Structure 1
Amino acid sequence: MSAPGQESGTPLLAIEGLSVRFNDTVAVDDIAFEIGRDQRVALVGESGSGKTVTALAILRLLRDAQVTGSIRFDGEDLLVKSERAMRGLRGSDIAMIFQEPMSALNPLYTIGEQIAETIVLHDGVTKKEAYGRAAGLLERTGIPEPRRRIFDYPHQLSGGQRQRVMIAMALACRPRLLLADEPTTALDVTIRGQIVELLLELQREEAKKPGGGMSVLLITHDLNLVRRFAQRVAVMERGKLVEVGTVEQIFEAPQHPYTQRLIASRPERNVVPVLPIAPVLLEARGVVVDFPTRLPGFKGWWHKGRFRAVNDATVSVRQGETLGIVGESGSGKSTLAMAMLGLQRTAAGQIEFQGKPLKSYLGREKLSLRSHLQVVFQDPFSSLSPRQTIERIVGEGLALHRPDLGSEERRKRIVATLREVGLDRTALQRYPHEFSGGQRQRIAIARTLVLEPRVIVLDEPTSALDVSIQQQVLRLLTDLQRKYNLGYVFISHDLEVIGAMAHRVAVMQNGAIVEAGDVDRIFDEPAHPYTRKLLKAALSR
């Protein structure tokens, strides 16, 4: 006799009338959809539409929430199961890849310890065998030197590498249902391709086993990934399910106006050509950045070594120009940019702002330099203080760099700058958590813009945003550059975004710049094999 829910026609997961309410706020409103066995379903929609809340409801990980309806996994309603029964399901039968790996990984344990713990807990194997399987999973998810990296701590990995560790942990026990919440947000195009192929391969392997099989619920705003990976698509807007269909139906003939807007949202190139006489604002020549590290030695001993993150890099940014820096996670993009800002103590080489070496800026000149060189980070929620109002966050730099301004004059500048990025004065006394992801990124841009900088480093500024919000932020950055003649260093693994924003592009691999030039030439006639590999991966998404 077959186990409950094992009949061939029964879906692995069936959600009916699911609603999630936080006090008076309805986050998910009476939705229903199914995931068949060995099926791949994508749940798409903008930030705040209820996608992640739906996934957390499946695992019963929502606190202080009223959850109604039914969530049937393998024929059994998860909402009536005991907490002990749910603990047995989590990680083994149902696993989840969380969106933000730095908050999901324990900073006090090595990544090998964290992956091995999951394997030992659910499979009961020895610790030695678990470590071997952990290294194998890291290798399959694209992390180089996995037998060395299992001894690293989360802070020693790049954002993309940490995301791959999360994927390895989720796949460790080969779950029957994988909930993947933005699993490729921080990954470059080649690793995205590897992850997609890995999930497909694992699905094929599990399907061959007696009683095996793995279904996937993919939560994402990457429509290219949806088109390549999913079989069915469910579209959410403001907590409601507005459209469900096959990939072909959704992309070729979307019915709902919201779905039509999502499909039409793509980066648009609208940059102004750089004047031939535009001066060089920031230049780096022969930059080298080394970090100390531990290396394995004879009979298990360790000895001090060094890791070269940037190797002999030379780039420049002119007034009104955007320099795009692309490459895989860990290639040295962000490290080079931080060195150009003078924020890497171990950096060697010559770095100049307006023709003057950064090292020669002293005293008040150095303080002035900081106002001219600004940065917008990838995740605005972690870079904005949750305990400060928007007025204090945006005005903090003014208080430091312009102490001559009175409180009223400072507030006028803050309001004017917020207006520049599309926010009004009602934002002044609010806190970061009260804004959407796109609004928080606008606040982060305002914080740099208020100081009237000459060069802004944009470190993956749109990677965590859904496509329609991404389009708005890119348009804002283009308008600001045109208005203030700003120089941008734009770091991204999204070549479509770089193609829309950059004048010139530098391609990095293993810390070195392997190719650089005008964006049209690099995209149309790439000379280096690695550049061709990146472009091929981007175009095949």
Structure 2
Amino acid sequence: MSEMASNTAGNALPSHDADTPLLEVEHLRVSFDGTHETAAVNDVSFSIARGERVALVGESGSGKSVTALSILRLLQDAHTSGAIRFNGEDLLAKSEREMRGLRGSAIAMIFQEPMTALNPLYSIGEQIAETIVLHDGVSSAEARKRAVELLGRTGIAEPGTRVNSYPHQLSGGQRQRAMIAMALACRPRLLLADEPTTALDVTIRAQIVELLLDLQREEAEKRGMAVLLITHDLNLVRHFAQRVAVMEKGVLVESGPVDQLFASPQHPYTQRLLQSRPQRAVVPVLPIAPVLLDARDVSVDFRTKLPGFAGWLRAGRFRAVDAATVRVRQGETLGIVGESGSGKSTLAMALLGLQRTVQGAIEFQGRALASYRGREQTVLRSNLQVVFQDPFSSLSPRHTIERIVGEGLALHRPQLDAAARREKVIAVLREVGIDRTALYRYPHEFSGGQRQRIAIARSLVLEPRILILDEPTSALDVSIQQQVLKLLAGLQQKYNLGFIFISHDLAVIGAMAHRVAVMKNGTIVESGDVEKIFASPSHPYTRKLLDAASGGEKSPL
């Protein structure tokens, strides 16, 4: 990667500092078995100027995070060679004690999943203050005061109160803001942000991006703080970064200014990444297509504990879904969009008959769900199947793929013998692009995209009429996501399936859905034809979602 010129005209650093890159990575090679043939990072070179925002992009396994962790020397059992110079000093030559002095103070990191990175036993304020005391040597009282200021600076409401909150008491967006506050606590010169918005809703994602931009610009003027953003979100790269470097299989294949690289990518892999935006593949539903699922005025309540002693004895009610009405016809995809907590997944569980406290009417093929009993209920279950967001959690690690996919057949098709079940399992795996050699393997032996295909096969093997897909692609890389969406579209057309597609990714809904229902606080605020609503939304919340998703770029369609 060519030298990156600083563009921080207001940088208060001495001129000789401004002329020297803040970070220089030269011929970096990282392997976990000591051989070059299996290097996770192979001969990577790039530099970052003071006050610059650089993005490192690529799919899972490309070496992005390994590169970032190498800068902080946080990799265990790794063989690292080359040079990593920070402020002119080689980090690979420093002792572990010297690196501990740099981590958090000079170089800080924001991790992808704050719930994992934050200690659940300590309050947010205690964790931020600990960093300040450790690196700045101030008193606990002063550190706490600065923690409150940092939380307020990152946009957390009532920081004086929230400083005492534990990670589980904060929302996903608040936890990510707390992680940013912790990273900025000692005013670092370099901030490493590893997928800081991947797990967030589209509107929260937009807020975090704007926050990082504002904070980086402010710190760049004062101290020349630079940011290395690790991500596979190309919209985020376009909006946030000034330069971008693309990695594939441990190799840096292309780099340059963001506008130039997006407008004219040279490497085939970069071209493929940029073309991986979900493409609309929707076949019109026949006017005579029968209604498979009809739900009217569906409401779901949960019992909640009220404050005070013996609160459960005075339990209140929380309405997660409020008078929702949806309908799915044969061969149709209904998209359900909204932020976390909007009631999307709760509504889906109600439609599957898996919620106890459901009010309203839900009918499958003209018959109320509640009227199915005994063997009929078993048949109903085989006709209503679900694919979850995280296939690694939903697939048993102790079972082979043959048992996982064939388990439903053993329950719902007891007339089939072992040989017949195996043939059906092989056939459905072939449908989703998985070879029969997978039969005796386990989930951990497959990539994320392959595991999601296996999860789809497990649902399809029962030949359902309706498939509920709960965020089935949000954990996947862009090119793998495109493959899974193409697979689902093909399966729907082949088997005339009805889909309920739950997602907060509006580009995915735009590619897959015929109609869309927008949920906010348990209520469907707008519904109708997806093209009409995306082109001309009538509800302010829908407009807010679309604006956050586009980031000023073109519509999700």
Structure 2-normalised TM-score? 0.86
- Within the candidate set 84, 100, 108, 1:71 is matched to 84
Q: Give the match for residue 475 of structure 1.
A: 486
Q: Is structure 2 residue 529 aligned with structure 1 residue 518?
A: yes
Instruction: Give distance in 2, aligned partners of 1:459 and 1:380.
Output: 11
- 2:155–2:177 CA contact under 8 A, matched in 1: no
What whole-Å deviation, never above 9, does each CA across 1:155-195 have from its counterpart, x for those lacking one? Answer: x7776666565555545555332222222222233222211
What whole-Å deviation, never above 9, does each CA across 1:370-399 have from its counterpart, x for those lacking one? Answer: 222222222222322333322222223223
Report 1:282-321 matches (<5 A).
Answer: 282-293=293-304, 305-321=316-332
Instruction: Give distance in 2, aligned partners of 1:112 and 1:291.
Output: 31
- Within the candidate set 8, 19, 28, 1:9 is matched to 19
Corresponding letter in the other structure for 1:206: E
What is the percent sequence identity of the aligned residues? 74
**Offset at residue 201 of structure 1 (A):** 0.7
- Within the candidate set 262, 280, 287, 2:291 is matched to 280
Q: Give the match for residue 152 of structure 2.
A: 136
**Offset at residue 276 of structure 1 (A):** 1.8
**Offset at residue 130 of structure 1 (A):** 6.8
Instruction: Give distance in 1, aligned partners of 2:317 and 2:125.
Output: 21
Q: Give the match for residue 39 of structure 2.
A: 26
The alpha-carbon distance between structure 1 residues 448 and 95, as it changes in their structure 2 partners (threshold 3 A), is farther
- 1:135–1:150 CA contact under 8 A, matched in 2: no
- 1:135–1:147 CA contact under 8 A, matched in 2: no
The alpha-carbon distance between structure 1 residues 282 and 294, as it changes in their structure 2 partners (threshold 3 A), is same
- 2:53–2:242 CA contact under 8 A, matched in 1: yes
**Offset at residue 346 of structure 1 (A):** 4.0
Instruction: Give distance in 2, aligned partners of 1:329 and 1:419.
Output: 34
The alpha-carbon distance between structure 1 residues 170 and 131, as it changes in their structure 2 partners (threshold 3 A), is closer
**Offset at residue 324 of structure 1 (A):** 0.7
Q: Is structure 2 residue 228 aligned with structure 1 residue 217?
A: yes
- 1:158–1:329 CA contact under 8 A, matched in 2: no
Instruction: Give distance in 2, aligned partners of 1:439 and 1:166.
Output: 32
Q: Give the match for residue 338 of structure 1.
A: 349
Q: Give the match for residue 51 of structure 1.
A: 64
Q: Give the match for residue 276 of structure 2.
A: 265
- Within the candidate set 10, 33, 49, 1:36 is matched to 49
Q: Give the match for residue 410 of structure 2.
A: 399
**Offset at residue 295 of structure 1 (A):** 6.3
Instruction: Give distance in 2, aligned partners of 1:513 and 1:101.
Output: 30
Unaligned residue ranges in structure 1 (runs of 5+): none
Report 1:416-431 matches (<5 A).
Answer: 416-431=427-442
- Within the candidate set 84, 93, 103, 1:80 is matched to 93
- 1:116–1:134 CA contact under 8 A, matched in 2: no
Matched position secondary structure for 2:17: coil
Instruction: Give distance in 2, aligned partners of 1:517 and 1:255.
Output: 41
**Offset at residue 345 of structure 1 (A):** 3.4
CA radius of gyration, larger in? 2
- 1:139–1:146 CA contact under 8 A, matched in 2: no
Q: Give the match for residue 5 of structure 2.
A: none
Q: Is structure 2 residue 216 aligned with structure 1 residue 197?
A: no
**Offset at residue 131 of structure 1 (A):** 6.9
Report 1:298-447 matches (<5 A).
Answer: 305-447=316-458
Unaligned residue ranges in structure 2 (runs of 5+): 1-11
The alpha-carbon distance between structure 1 residues 21 and 488, as it changes in their structure 2 partners (threshold 3 A), is same
- 1:285–1:349 CA contact under 8 A, matched in 2: yes
- Within the candidate set 449, 460, 466, 1:455 is matched to 466
Corresponding letter in the other structure for 1:79: L
May I ask how many residue pairs the two structures share in their alignment? 532
Q: Give the match for residue 538 of structure 2.
A: 527
Q: Give the match for residue 90 of structure 1.
A: 103
Instruction: Give distance in 2, aligned partners of 1:179 and 1:399.
Output: 49
Matched position secondary structure for 2:481: helix
**Offset at residue 106 of structure 1 (A):** 4.8
Structure 1-normalised TM-score? 0.89
Corresponding letter in the other structure for 2:420: E
Instruction: Give distance in 1, aligned partners of 2:373 and 2:326.
Output: 24
**Offset at residue 139 of structure 1 (A):** 4.1
**Offset at residue 282 of structure 1 (A):** 2.2
Instruction: Give distance in 2, aligned partners of 1:339 and 1:130.
Output: 46
**Offset at residue 283 of structure 1 (A):** 2.8
What whole-Å deviation, never above 9, does each CA across 1:207-230 have from its counterpart, x for those lacking one? Answer: 343xx2432111112111111111
**Offset at residue 308 of structure 1 (A):** 3.1
Once superposed, what is the RMSD of the aligned Cα atoms? 3.2
The alpha-carbon distance between structure 1 residues 106 and 128, as it changes in their structure 2 partners (threshold 3 A), is closer
**Offset at residue 297 of structure 1 (A):** 7.7
Q: Give the match for residue 175 of structure 1.
A: 188
Corresponding letter in the other structure for 1:375: V
